[in-house]
Structure 1
Amino acid sequence: MAKATNKLHSKDLRQLGFTDEATISLALDILDQRQFRKLDKGSAQALLQEIQTDPHKFVRDEDWRPLAQKLVPQPSRDVKLNLEIKDYRRYGDAFIEDGARKQMDTAMQLPITIDGALMPDAHQGYGLPIGGVLAADNAVIPYGVGMDIGCRMCLSVFDLPPRYLDQRTQELRKLLLNNTRFGGKEVFKNPTDDPVLERPEFKEIAVVRGKREAAINQMGSSGSGNHFVEWGVVEISAEDNELNLPVGQYLGLLSHSGSRGLGAAIAQHYTKVAMNKCPLPPEARYLAWLDMNSQEGQEYWRAMNLAGDYASACHHDIHRRLSKALGENALAQVENHHNFAWKETLSDGREAIVHRKGATPAGEGVLGVIPGSMTAPGFIVRGRGERDSLQSASHGAGRRMSRGQAMKTLKEGEVHRYLRDHGIELIGGGLDEAPMAYKDIHQVMAHQRDLVDVLGSFTPKIVRMDAGKSGKSRYGGE
């Protein structure tokens, strides 16, 4: 029997929050089944984290049912949901899956809920759906923010023509290999020192204090799963743009990643605190909240903002390294984040905590990048401040297949051909991140014309993602 090339071990599962040895053994046995042996280590960790976080989602899955049934908790039902589901706006309702709608419906029954919206890239997650926006009354929901706190996009535009990508493909590929790090173990030998690492939160908040060393080591690195750094073509199409760039085409660098182990530790810790303080019915358990007037609520808020700033520092380090290696300064840069909560004033004058889990801030005049997939363009956008969407837009194309579905359905050969036909040079990556696993970004954008104005586009050409333990791409390359 062939062994999995990127096999997880018990210690890996303990790091994800698994504690029971029998459960750990069961999870490893399932991963050793034939259909999961080609799953790279980062994707396997992401899948198990998802199951551990929301086992209810997997109780009907033929492969994962035994594990999910062991993980389903039975909390007391001290906090009641409202019987009425508050009305909320859904964008692109026709192709939003039922699971995401049901999760959002549940969120709209919370006693703390003021308003909400569901973006056109929405799909089922845990707690709030991915693409969910929720305004809460003086309360913050750790899983309404999500595990990867402050996950963001960062785009740099260089004064080089698109033909540079064809003329210097191997050189640009090598720059990505030399100047980016991915996954749980890849770090720089001499990580960049950054002022964010000297923040007082690292001394004053216990869960953060324990992650400072890891945060130092992971500075400038990117996560696994759907995180990437890629070269591509930027096309500025709007003459009136805040980037002060003439209409035309440029070389671009786009990165997508978040707060690494620091954000995950904060999310896990404060979700457990919230669930203990605010036990909810099973369908709502991961929407447990912390009162902003409580010590725990204030601690989480400070830790969340630290994680967001750390994620930003990581992106700036990535772009500094690659700009220096390229020998060019960026003409312009756009950065935006999701998986975060903001204190905002709503249209009726009320102050609220607005959670955007996989949703892009789109206040009037606010710039952002909404990526597509490896073979589809992303878009540089300017927010229109739409009240019904709580000044939000999608954060990408959104998944149309879960990771498990993609692994079961897609074949390496067909994905390889698809990428080759679209002229994509991929370093790393897995079947779970294949372009076919994502929705049509053009369809998503069509459903949010009222939310953003398009200033330009970014089309990927050379992409690097986590390659798992082997360090090799499933589709060729290193």
Structure 2
Amino acid sequence: MPDAHQGYGLPIGGVLAMQADMIIPYAVGVDIACRMCLSIFDLPAVLVDREKEKLKNLLLDHTHFGIGSKTKVHYDTSLFDRPEWHAFKTVKSLKDKAYAQLGTSGTGNHFVEWGELTVSENALEGIPAGNYLALLSHSGSRGFGGSIANTYSAIAMKKTLLPKEAKHLAWLDMNTDEGEEYWMAMNLAGDYASANHHEIHNKIARALNIQPVSRIENHHNFAWKEKLADGTDVLVHRKGATHAGEGVLGVIPGSMSTPGFVVRGKGNAASIHSASHGAGRLMSRSAAFKTISKADVDRNLLEKRLTLIGAGLDEAPMVYKDIHAVMAAQADLVEVLARFQPRIVRMADAREKAED
């Protein structure tokens, strides 16, 4: 993908189709089912300026960031009634942690933000063209997903012996107990990540006293059972890449001060029905601390009329690639339906270690 950069095993931004009975935990990633979630409200976008303090306080009151962050008040915990939580030891041991972290966000590039959504004519069903207040979030399956990834990656590396340089591409056979367990746990982590976002959005919507007219979400760091163009059954791993099958809706973010885009997949077989998951980093976190000044960031945020809560220099807008160039590079993969401009952004405290 155009936002790809190096990671363990499969690059972040990498897409890999394996034979249907082989799954690679590290090609899925550590933050399983990390996702974007966008709630669109039937309210004018100008409220982001008129009600700035109110909207800022809603983020402060109803979001929780950081490694190990927890919540005490929940909106909907019905996910935890599912039998999968008791299917095998690894998941069962993590249920309490997952419950405590429901409705929280991680560190690094994870965020919850208010912004202005500009919708084109006839682009989104049921939503007239115009400018709307919208809430966008980015986070995943928290400590639950991370623990599943680490546990089953270690098992895969013991089961599948590869050269040192390729060890993170070790796979699990889906026909074994370990493979079946990982598949079940990965899918549960996907549902958990979605519920995590809904918890945040629903709490904020309730406090705002209005329900969204539409909610759009899509995830990355996952594996999907699909078919190639020739009908071959495969397991498609998208690590830091998102599904862009024909008609599939999603959100591709830029940076804290550059726009994100609501898109519809075109189902391009050459990309294995995939698109980028964001702008992608232009430099490492260590390079950002060495080369970017707080004054530079402050000027950028002032120019974009952006209010920022949290975040360090390693998440500055200039550490990311040009989102417009990234979108242009994948015009054959997705169709742009709407544009989201961030205006009030909350991220983890600058002192928090990045998890992403």
TM-score, normalised relative to structure 1: 0.72
Q: Which residue does the alignment assign to 2:255?
A: 373
1:330-409 equivalences under 5 Å are 330-409=212-291
**In structure 2, C-alpha distance between the alignment counterparts of 1:330 and 1:190, rounded to whole Å:** 21
Q: Are the counterparts in 2 of residues 291 and 297 from structure 1 also a CA contact under 8 Å? A: yes
**In structure 1, C-alpha distance between the alignment counterparts of 2:317 and 2:8, rounded to whole Å:** 23
**CA positional deviation for 1:193:** 4.3
**In structure 1, C-alpha distance between the alignment counterparts of 2:331 and 2:230, rounded to whole Å:** 24
Q: Tell me, yes or no, if structure 1 residue 430 matches structure 2 residue 312.
A: yes
Unaligned runs of 5+ in 1: 1-118, 471-478
Q: Are the counterparts in 1 of residues 227 and 233 from structure 2 also a CA contact under 8 Å? A: yes
Distance 1:241 1:449, change over 3 A: same
Q: Which residue does the alignment assign to 1:176?
A: 59
Paired residue for 1:278, among 160, 164, 169? 160
Q: Are the counterparts in 2 of residues 203 and 209 from structure 1 also a CA contact under 8 Å? A: yes
**CA positional deviation for 1:443:** 0.2
**CA positional deviation for 1:422:** 1.5
Q: Are the counterparts in 2 of residues 229 and 463 from structure 1 also a CA contact under 8 Å? A: yes
Q: Are the counterparts in 2 of residues 127 and 286 from structure 1 also a CA contact under 8 Å? A: yes
How many pairs are equivalent?
351
Q: Tell me, yes or no, if structure 1 residue 207 matches structure 2 residue 105.
A: no
**CA positional deviation for 1:185:** 4.0
Letter in 2 for 1:347: A
**CA positional deviation for 1:203:** 1.7
Larger RCO (alpha carbons 8 Å, 6+ apart) = 2
**In structure 1, C-alpha distance between the alignment counterparts of 2:221 and 2:274, rounded to whole Å:** 12
Q: Which residue does the alignment assign to 1:236?
A: 119
Q: What per-residue deviation string (whole Å, max 9, x for no partner) do you get for residues 236-258 of structure 1? A: 02x23343211111001000000
Q: What per-residue deviation string (whole Å, max 9, x for no partner) do you get for residues 135-166 of structure 1? A: 00120000000000010000011111121111
**In structure 2, C-alpha distance between the alignment counterparts of 1:205 and 1:402, rounded to whole Å:** 38
Q: Are the counterparts in 2 of residues 205 and 303 from structure 1 also a CA contact under 8 Å? A: no
Paired residue for 2:26, among 143, 146, 162? 143
**CA positional deviation for 1:468:** 5.1
**In structure 1, C-alpha distance between the alignment counterparts of 2:144 and 2:46, rounded to whole Å:** 39
Q: What per-residue deviation string (whole Å, max 9, x for no partner) do you get for residues 381-421 of structure 1? A: 00000000000000000001111111222122221222122
Q: What per-residue deviation string (whole Å, max 9, x for no partner) do you get for residues 74-104 of structure 1? A: xxxxxxxxxxxxxxxxxxxxxxxxxxxxxxx
Letter in 1 for 2:47: Y
1:183-194 equivalences under 5 Å are 183-194=66-77
Q: Which residue does the alignment assign to 2:328?
A: 446
**CA positional deviation for 1:287:** 0.6
Q: Tell me, yes or no, if structure 1 residue 259 matches structure 2 residue 134.
A: no
**In structure 2, C-alpha distance between the alignment counterparts of 1:231 and 1:242, rounded to whole Å:** 19
**In structure 2, C-alpha distance between the alignment counterparts of 1:424 and 1:200, rounded to whole Å:** 44
**In structure 2, C-alpha distance between the alignment counterparts of 1:156 and 1:144, rounded to whole Å:** 29
Letter in 2 for 1:329: Q
Q: What per-residue deviation string (whole Å, max 9, x for no partner) do you get for residues 242-275 of structure 1? A: 4321111100100000000000000000000000
Q: Which residue does the alignment assign to 1:109?
A: none
Letter in 2 for 1:285: K
Q: What per-residue deviation string (whole Å, max 9, x for no partner) do you get for residues 163-221 of structure 1? A: 11111111110000001111124322223442221222222222211211111110111
**In structure 2, C-alpha distance between the alignment counterparts of 1:181 and 1:121, rounded to whole Å:** 28
Q: Are the counterparts in 1 of residues 74 and 199 from structure 2 also a CA contact under 8 Å? A: no
**In structure 1, C-alpha distance between the alignment counterparts of 2:55 and 2:328, rounded to whole Å:** 33
Q: Are the counterparts in 2 of residues 191 and 216 from structure 1 also a CA contact under 8 Å? A: no
Q: What per-residue deviation string (whole Å, max 9, x for no partner) do you get for residues 315-368 of structure 1? A: 011110111111111111101001000000111111100001111111100000
Q: Are the counterparts in 2 of residues 424 and 460 from structure 1 also a CA contact under 8 Å? A: yes
Q: Which residue does the alignment assign to 1:197?
A: 80
Unaligned runs of 5+ in 2: none
Q: Are the counterparts in 1 of residues 68 and 143 from structure 2 also a CA contact under 8 Å? A: no
**CA positional deviation for 1:455:** 0.5
Q: What per-residue deviation string (whole Å, max 9, x for no partner) do you get for residues 29-71 of structure 1? A: xxxxxxxxxxxxxxxxxxxxxxxxxxxxxxxxxxxxxxxxxxx
Q: Which residue does the alignment assign to 1:249?
A: 131
